[in-house]
Amino acid sequence: MAKRRKALRIGLIGDRDSRVTAHWAIPLALQQSLLPHSGTLRVDWLDTQRLAAGLPLEQYAGFWCIPGSPYLDTEGALRAITHARENEVPYLGTCAGFQHALLERARNVHGWRDAAHGELDMDSTRQVIHALPCSLVEVSETIRLASGSRLESIYGGATIREGYRCSYGVNPEFQQQLFGDSLRACAHGEDGSIRALEATDHPFFVATLFQPERKALAGIAVPLAEAFLCAAFQHATASVGSPA
């Protein structure tokens, strides 16, 4: 009898919208990254309202927080990010997934209960995520990766070129307090602004303001998706009771 292949469950944090290009690209990037692994993949869309209502998360070997904010329920998205961070479950965030990873850390690690996302709270005095001086909607740039970072290792070089579709990023007013210790700014844009982060106290917690997944639509490999999926397989193997 043929041995049944293990199914790896990945949760996509966010509200699915067929109009968002990244929502077509992310499942494809994951499927393309599956090829070197002996296993099957199950990708579940975890909408933020169900997350806020207490959707169980223990069965997932990894979480990708997807573009497409504002989410229907910010607290739902933050709950899933907290779960990934506290339980050392591999986490990848792109675009809004970067913004909300930083928002979650500001609130739940630094204790800034008034930390806000400028897209949702324009009057807040603690917008850790604010409107960028220059929009990055359908913009590409050369990005410098921090020496010795996980991201540099994943891409195998000091610079990459990636594209964006976003208008919000790190507020420089708070970045000195947010980064350091266990949170590293691991990529910078042409103007020196932070474009990616990684947690040094977590097996795999990486988030980028850029959207590398969109390259999958052109049949181009996505190294960050490959690294994330590899980390998810390692997590599933190490966990008691692997994903069904």
Whole-prediction pTM: 0.94
- The neighbouring-strand residues paired with 117 are 129
Domains of the chain: 7-238 (3.40.50.880)
In a structure prediction context, what are the per-residue pLDDT tens digits for the chain, which is 244 residues long?
Answer: 344 456 899 999 999 999 999 999 999 999 999 877 767 899 999 999 999 999 999 999 999 999 999 999 999 999 999 999 999 999 999 999 999 999 999 999 999 999 999 999 988 999 999 999 999 999 999 999 999 999 999 999 999 999 999 999 999 999 999 998 899 999 999 999 999 999 999 999 999 999 999 999 999 999 999 999 999 999 998 874 543 3
- The neighbouring-strand residues paired with 13 are 46, 65
Q: How far apart are CA 46 and CA 179, in angstroms?
A: 28
Which token pair is 42?
């199950």
The pLDDT value given to residue 38: 67
pLDDT in tens, 111-165: 999 999 999 998 899 999 999 999 999 999 999 999 999 999 999 999 999 999 9
pLDDT in tens, 54-70: 999 999 999 999 999 99
